Every structure is written in C-alpha cells, then in structure tokens.
Amino acid sequence: MSNSDYCIDIFKYTRYKTREVKIGKLLLGGNHPIVVQSMTTTNTNYTEATVNQIKSIFDAGGQMVRMTAQGQREASNLKNIKEELTKQGYNGPLVADIHFNPNAANIAAEHIEKVRINPGNFVDGAKKFESIEYSVESYGEELMMVRKKLTPLLNICKKNNTALRIGTNHGSLSDRIMSRYGDTPMGMVESCMEFLRICQKEDFHRIVLSIKASNARIMVHTVRLLVQKMHEENMNYPLHLGVTEAGEGEDGRIRSAVGIGTLLADGIGDTIRVSLTEDPEKEIPVAQDLIHYTGAKAGHEIITPIPTASYYPFEYKKHESTAVKNIGGQNIPVVIGKIKSVQDKPDYIFSEREDATGISIMPLEQWNKPKVKANCYPLLKNEQAGLLNELTAEIIFIELTYTQLNQKLSETLKNLSNIVLVLKTENKNSIAEQRAAFLWLTAHNMNHPVIIYQNYTEVFDQKTQLKAACDFGPLFLDGFGDGIWIDFEQENEPGIANKTAYAILQAARVRFEKPDYISCPGCGRTLFGLQDTTAKVKERTTHLKGLKIAVMGCIVNGPGEMADADYGYVGSGPGKITLYYQKQVVKKNIDEKDAVDELVQLIKQNNDWKEPV
C-alpha cells in the first residue's frame, strides 16, 4: 500500500490538516493547537460539586470539560452548571456525554457548546450480543431509523451553534454493526461513518470524531483506518484521541502514551483526553506532556524515503525475523537493561565490567578479555563489522543506525546467522527513522532480529517514561522489534527503566509480565468507589501474570470493553456489583463490600488462580 493512502508522509512528521470546527469560543482543527480535555466524575445533578470539579480541570490547564448526562434531568441541569461557571468567570466549552437517550441529547444541545453521542447506543440501546441477519433492505431501514432519531438533534445543534462529537467505543458497537462487520476495525469505522454521512446529508458540519478502545493497538489501527476512510470520501473532520479505560498510575499513563503518542507522532489528532482512574485534573499534565513531546518532532532531520517500502498501518503484522537463541522469530520481545533490578529483571544485562554476572552483553573490547565467562556476548560498533567473521560467539550484537544501512553491510551480514542488530537513532523523529530502517531491512530481505534502542540523557523519571512510551510504542504496535533497550545516564528510582520497558511491551500487547487491568476513569454514572476498588482488585490479583481483569464503573461500555478481558467487575447499582466471566454475567448485584472476595473466588473456580509466591 502506498503512503498516500494513509494521508501522511511516514518519512516526515506532518500534521494531518482537518477542517476548522468552532466549539463555543474555542477553535479546533485546521492549524490550531491540539486541545486538552478531561471529564468530571461527579453526579451532574449536583451543581456545586460539578462546578468545583470543572474549575479544577480548567485551573490545571484543561481547555474543554465533558460531563455525563445519562437522563433528561441531568441534561436540564447543565444549564445551571453553565450559568454558575460563567458567573465565576469560567467560559471554556462544556460537553455533554450521552448514551442511550436521544431526548437527553436534545436538551443538552440547547444549554452547552458540544454534545457527544455514541453511535453504538444512540438508537440501538444496550448491547445484547445478538447476531441478526440483515438484507440490504432491512439494513437500509435501520439506517433510516438512525436518521429519523438523529435529525432532530442536528436541527437543535444548528439553531444553537452546538458542536457534535460522534464518539465510537470499541466496547459498545451496536448489534447491528456487529452482525454485519463483526468486532473489526472496519465495523468501528463504519459505526462512525454511518452517522457522519447522515450529518453530511443534513448539511451539518460542526463535527468532531473519535474512535476509542482500551486496547491501544486496536485504537491506533482503527483511527488510522478512519482517517483513510474519510480521505476516500473527501472528508477531514477533527479527531479526538484517547485510550479508554487506560487505568491508573504509571500503567495507565504508559498505555495512554503508547496509543495517543503513536497517533500524535503520525500527525493525527486535534484534541486528546488521557483517561486515568484518578482525579480528572491529574490527566491534564500528562496530555500536555504528550502533545509537547510529539510536536517537537516537527522540523526533524531528513529521512531518506524508501520507494519500495511495504507498510500497512491498519493492522498488526509481525516483522519477520529468524531467531537467534531466544531473540527474534516467534519469541516474545526481550528486554535489555543495565541494572539488574529485583522485580523487573532484564533478559540481558549490558555491562562494561569484565566480571559481569548473568546473561550479559558487553563491548567487544571487554568481551575479548580472558575473565569473561559463558553467557556473555559481544556488542560491536558499526565500524567493527569487518571483524564479524573472526568471532565465534553464539550471539553477536552490532549497533547501527538507519543512515548506516547500505548494500555493503547487507552483503557482510547476509550469511551470518548469529547476528542481532541494535537499532539506534540520533534523529529527533526517532519513530520515523527507526521504522524506515525496518522497511529497508525488509526491502533487502534481511531477517536478522532487531533490538530497538534509545538513550535518554536526562534523569529517567515519570516524564521520561512518557517519552519512552511515545518512542517505542508505535514501533511495537506495528509489529516491529524483537527487543527493547532503554538506556539512561541516571534513574530517579532503581529499576524504573526496566519497569518501563516491560510496561511498554504490555501496552503494545506483545509481552505480558503482569495482569492486564482495564479500568475506566469514572464519571457521573459510576456508583461505587472506583479508585479504591481498582486498588483493592490490583492488590489481590497483581501476581496473576497475563490475566486480563476489567474494573468498570457502569454498563455503558462495561460488557463490550470486557469482551477482551477474562474477568469483569462492573457497577450495576448503588453499591452493587455484577461479575462477568468473559462476556457472560456470572453473579449479579453483589454488595460492594463482598465483591472483591467474590471476584477472587470466581477466578479460583475457573482454575486461573495461582497463589502468590
């Protein structure tokens, strides 16, 4: 597939230019800066609490705030919230989040600047996981029903200059879409496009689009496909980016950075929200850091294009390599680090000491000395490639950059089956240059395993974690890389770089070393203490490597987002929890105080429990 089909230049950072949309006084899309937003967790009926939380978000640097409006009463109270904020000098645009209730959307559109609707449940109601056989005629009748329900909202939006976000969620595709397209990226895109085409026919264009998933890989490939589909139909509406139910703490931040950072680095995205299971104002600095770091790639050093490059950015396809011991081939990506931390031990330790212990990599000069033991492997610089035929090590690592790849090196390496490449870069658009290196290797039929390397000269801390997730995540999401090597000058806490490496691989879904938690950030629909409960669930299950556990505040996205999870813990009423095993309800309306114990019991019943070591 040619690069033009993807709407961006994969060898040069370029913002994808969308049409300008006005939301209150805020201008989105076009040449305008990327907008940061968040969402309240209060009950929208409670004016004072909601106003105070909105003020906290704006004070933290948020530029737009969303609130749930699950019913007509909540939608009507948006008027009071807006008036109180205006009285206190806060004029940023507000957004109503609507599910299942077109009447609530119609009311909200009269009071605030933007309404978000979900195509998966705006007309079709709650997800039932039913497979329905549609003829062309019956499917067309369903779309006519959608248009009939949507048009009144569009007319109200036109009258009040209200913007509309068509926000598709992976977890709440309608049974109609699922029956025709299945749980596929194209199904998610069509869910969005069906509503968008109706808006076009009704001559309504004050639109923002989003496609979200808790799975960063699905989210990235699907948003790219949406851009492609809009391109084919001569549309270019602004895009809202987010990894939904990303979780909390560093895992939530890294998962968000991998997903959102990948698209920002592609030049895609006009507004972002980092969904964390934390107080909403804590999302703002994370979003700002992602925008600043990826935007700084503009004006990067020239990356020579590869005319014969074959790159399909809409699905995961593993880069082919031939295994060298446990690196490459069908092996999971390895982690290389220079500190052997207790909890997050790297698979290979880089050391410049002659008496290194464990499985080690060291510069050729140290490796050649007689004290070196077994399980130590040499690392050569590119200019030492001429020595390769003289070495007898089981694995030989050789570092190089994209600019050093050439036909001569290809001929040197072609017949050597013990070589692992360490791919470095000095280009500030490291993603594009390292991706170009993979495309060059493929074009020249070189199947040596590749370790992706980055060195961070500042103190490696929580902000650097986000940078690393933005740098490595896009490559692993697209199937590039047989290993990760995060190098640093100094850490602010021992082992944080190794921990980050494992978290990036897990966020990219290429290696699981701990449970995969899917937890929503909470909103006014949440009926239990989401942050405390998520912490309790983690405390009890943190040793269950690879198990996928979802903690969801309500049923809006719960059952669907949990389709990829093994177990689900979902709020079903005030202080009441429903437990799922995969897509199936197992226990309903459990008291919140007993629910974590019941979840553990359910895991044991299905033989997925292991006692902590």
Q: Which CATH number fits the domain that encloses residue 345?
A: 3.20.20
Same domain membership, residue 85 and residue 115: yes
Q: Who has greater pLDDT, 530 or 295? A: 295
Pairing of strands 360-363, 114-117: unpaired
Closest CA to 225 of 163, 233, 557, 518: 233
Q: Who has greater pLDDT, 577 or 163? A: 163
Same domain membership, residue 490 and residue 417: yes
Q: Which amino acid is at 253?
A: R
Q: How far is residue 412's CA from residue 597's CA, in Å, rounded to a whole number?
A: 60
Q: Is residue 42 part of a domain?
A: yes
Q: Is residue 316 part of a domain?
A: no
List pLDDT tens digits, range 213-259: 889 999 999 999 999 999 999 999 999 999 986 666 788 899 999 99
Same domain membership, residue 503 and residue 560: no
- Which whole-number Å values give the CA distances from 408 to 65, 322, 386, 404, 412, in the listed order? 56, 21, 11, 10, 6
Query: For position 556, what pLDDT does the model report?
Result: 57
Q: Who has greater pLDDT, 148 or 125? A: 148
Same domain membership, residue 542 and residue 496: no
Q: Is residue 156 part of a domain?
A: yes
Same domain membership, residue 347 and residue 276: no
List pLDDT tens digits, range 211-220: 998 899 999 9
Choose one of 485, 507, 529: the last residue of a domain. Answer: 507
- pLDDT above 90: residue 517: no
Q: Is residue 122 part of a domain?
A: yes
Query: For position 4, what pLDDT does the model report?
Result: 46
Same domain membership, residue 226 and residue 362: no
Same domain membership, residue 578 and residue 546: yes
Q: Is residue 433 part of a domain?
A: yes
* Structure confidence at residue 522 as a pLDDT band (50, 70, 90): low
Number of domains into which the chain is organized: 3
Same domain membership, residue 271 and residue 406: no
Same domain membership, residue 168 and residue 77: yes
Is 180 within 8 Å of 136 (Cβ atoms)?
A: no
What does residue 88 show for φ and ψ, rounded to 5 degrees?
A: -90, 5
Q: Is residue 304 part of a domain?
A: no
Q: How far is residue 457's CA from residue 244's CA, in Å, rounded to a whole number?
A: 32
Same domain membership, residue 531 and residue 497: no
Same domain membership, residue 553 and residue 405: no
Residue 558 belongs to domain with CATH number: 3.30.413.10
- pLDDT above 50: residue 505: yes
Query: For position 311, what pLDDT does the model report?
Result: 86
Residue 28 belongs to domain with CATH number: 3.20.20.20
Within 13 A of 421's CA, how many CA atoms are on the CB side? Answer: 28
Q: How far is residue 579's CA from residue 585's CA, in Å, rounded to a whole number?
A: 6
Q: Who has greater pLDDT, 342 or 148? A: 148
Q: At what angle do helices 283-295 and 249-265 cross, to 10 degrees?
A: 30
Same domain membership, residue 247 and residue 346: no
Which residue has tokens 């496009």?
193
Choose one of 507, 542, 575: the last residue of a domain. Answer: 507
Q: How far is residue 282's CA from residue 274's CA, in Å, rounded to a whole number?
A: 9
The residues near 136 (Cβ < 8 Å, ≥ 6 apart) are: none
Q: Is residue 324 part of a domain?
A: no
Range of the domain at 429: 334-507
Q: Is residue 599 part of a domain?
A: yes
Q: Which amino acid is at 87?
A: K
Lowest mean pLDDT among 309-318, 428-437, 460-469: 309-318
Q: How far is residue 34's CA from residue 288's CA, in Å, rounded to a whole number?
A: 9
Q: What is the mean pLDDT of the segment spanning 317-344?
A: 90
* Structure confidence at residue 560 as a pLDDT band (50, 70, 90): low
Choose one of 507, 524, 559: the last residue of a domain. Answer: 507
* Structure confidence at residue 178 as a pLDDT band (50, 70, 90): confident
Pairing of strands 114-117, 35-39: unpaired
